């Protein structure tokens, strides 16, 4: 009887493992097909207009169900977020525009703005001289386990969790509003798309912006999307500051994040890809499957 029970158990475990392996392979292929479909949607959506909005087809989540499983696809625009990598220059000098935007964003979220912004500036600059409340290699070497700051641009948003003060609550609060991708890795600016940016990012754009002005922008674009940055002056109350925002804003994104989640049986696979658009061409700049 004992031998029989052991034999049945071995057969069950072996069969379950085989089924799960097959399901995992099928889920991976299905998730990859979701990314391919999202790329095609972006190509078709962005080819016909000179601006991008949250009303576009690409911005609508998609879900497909069939007998063996389901596929969920969502696309978000990275240009709707604030670029972390522009907060400081390589020589350690703060970029007043983007440092100010990051400061207002963190403060608006109820976080310790000075400490976080200075620690971020120290992480991405190339020198080893800490800001008053920041941190350089000496601080990180005293951690357990110790590690070195990158002293270069962040490669992923998740890397921000290694920076002094950002692990836990701070990163969780900031994640929907920040990006490490810009129009070009070497570009001096990373304009925010005022057609897709959330309220928190809009308010951070300028020291004279407040929640009321941000809500006016969102209401205006809901009815009449901005076709070029100069049209921001048409929003009531923005006449005096819209000109100073022209180098900080855009009305069409070029970088998009794709989430493709597939389920086959009890197995789920998720692919997260970031693509950069240039005309009808799309280049994958980040890919992660788990």
Output the domain CATH number for residue 20.
Answer: 3.30.1300.30
Most confident of the following: 22-31, 42-51, 213-222? 213-222
Average pLDDT over the chain, rounded to whole? 91
User: CB neighbours (10 Å) of residue 284?
Assistant: 12
Q: Are strands 62-66 and 69-77 parallel, antiparallel or unpaired?
A: antiparallel
pLDDT-based confidence at 46, cuts 50/70/90? confident
- Smallest CA-to-CA distance from 70 within 279, 282, 266, 263 is with 263
Q: What is the tens place of the pLDDT at every residue in 202-236? A: 999 999 999 999 999 999 999 999 999 999 999 99
Q: Does 2 have pLDDT greater than 70?
A: no
DSSP assignment of 161-202: GGSTTTTTHHHHHHGGGEES--SSTT-S---EETTT--HHHH
Q: How far apart are CA 37 and CA 31, in angstroms?
A: 10
On whether residue 11 sits in a domain, the answer given is yes
Percentage of the chain modeled with pLDDT above 90: 80
Residues 40-45 have a mean pLDDT of 91
Structure tokens at 17: 């493992």
On whether residue 282 sits in a domain, the answer given is yes
Q: How far apart are CA 83 and CA 204, in angstroms?
A: 12
Check residue 145 and give its pLDDT.
94
Structure tokens at 137: 């290699």
Measured CA to CA in angstroms, residue 282 lies from 46, 113, 142, 219 at distances of 11, 36, 43, 31
Question: Taking the C-alpha atoms of 226, 231, 232 and 238 in order, what is their torsion angle to the nearest 10 degrees?
Answer: -150
> Which residues lie closer than 8 Å to 19 by C-beta, 6 or more apart?
265
Is residue 196 within 8 Å of 221, Cβ to Cβ? no
Check residue 195 and give its pLDDT.
98
pLDDT-based confidence at 17, cuts 50/70/90? low
Q: Does 45 have pLDDT greater than 50?
A: yes
Check residue 279 and give its pLDDT.
75
- Domain span including residue 271: 2-77+261-289
Residues 169-197 have a mean pLDDT of 90
On whether residue 180 sits in a domain, the answer given is no
Check residue 14 and give its pLDDT.
47
Better-predicted residue by pLDDT, 236 or 4 = 236
End-to-end CA distance of the chain: 41
Is residue 69 within 8 Å of 34, Cβ to Cβ? no
On whether residue 218 sits in a domain, the answer given is no
In DSSP terms, which residues pair with 258 in a beta bridge? 75, 273
Domain count, the chain: 1
Q: How far apart are CA 27 and CA 71, in angstroms?
A: 9
- Smallest CA-to-CA distance from 203 within 129, 109, 277 is with 109
Q: What is the tens place of the pLDDT at every residue in 62-118? A: 999 987 789 999 999 999 999 999 999 999 899 999 999 999 999 999 999 999 999
pLDDT-based confidence at 186, cuts 50/70/90? low
pLDDT-based confidence at 200, cuts 50/70/90? very high
On whether residue 199 sits in a domain, the answer given is no
Is residue 245 within 8 Å of 232, Cβ to Cβ? yes
- Smallest CA-to-CA distance from 226 within 253, 199, 189 is with 253
Q: Does 257 have pLDDT greater than 50?
A: yes
Q: Does 277 have pLDDT greater than 70?
A: yes
On whether residue 202 sits in a domain, the answer given is no
pLDDT-based confidence at 59, cuts 50/70/90? very high
Check residue 8 and give its pLDDT.
45
On whether residue 163 sits in a domain, the answer given is no
- Smallest CA-to-CA distance from 251 within 114, 50, 62, 18 is with 50
Three-state SS across 57-88?
A: HHHCCEEEEECCEEEEEEEEEHHHCEEHHHCE
On whether residue 40 sits in a domain, the answer given is yes
Structure tokens at 243: 């000109």
């Amino acid at each position: 009887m004992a031998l029989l029970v052991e034999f049945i158990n071995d057969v069950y475990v072996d069969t379950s493992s085989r089924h799960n392996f097959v399901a995992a392979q099928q889920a991976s292929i299905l998730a990859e097909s979701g990314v391919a479909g999202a790329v095609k949607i972006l190509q078709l959506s962005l080819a016909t207009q000179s601006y991008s909005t949250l009303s576009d087809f690409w911005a609508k989540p998609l879900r497909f169900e069939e007998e063996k499983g389901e596929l969920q696809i969502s696309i978000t625009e990275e240009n709707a977020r604030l670029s972390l990598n522009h907060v400081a220059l390589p020589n350690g000098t703060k970029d007043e525009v983007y440092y100010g935007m990051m400061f207002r964003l963190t403060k608006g979220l109820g976080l310790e703005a000075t400490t976080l912004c200075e620690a971020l500036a120290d992480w991405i600059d190339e020198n080893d001289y800490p800001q008053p409340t920041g941190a350089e290699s000496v601080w990180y070497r005293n951690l357990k386990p110790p590690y070195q700051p990158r002293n270069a641009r962040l490669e992923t948003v998740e890397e921000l969790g290694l920076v002094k003060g950002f692990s836990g609550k701070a990163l969780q609060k900031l994640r929907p509003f920040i990006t490490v991708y810009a129009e070009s890795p070497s570009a001096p600016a990373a304009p925010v798309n005022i057609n897709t940016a959330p309220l928190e990012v809009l308010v951070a754009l300028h020291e004279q912006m407040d929640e009321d002005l941000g809500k006016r922008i969102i209401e205006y674009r809901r009815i009449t999307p901005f076709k070029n940055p100069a049209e921001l002056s048409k929003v009531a109350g923005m006449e005096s500051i819209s000109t100073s925002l022209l180098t900080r804003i855009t009305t069409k994104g070029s970088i998009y994040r794709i989430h493709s989640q597939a389920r086959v049986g009890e197995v789920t696979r998720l692919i997260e890809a970031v693509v950069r658009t240039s005309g009808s061409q799309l280049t994958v700049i980040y890919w992660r499957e788990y």
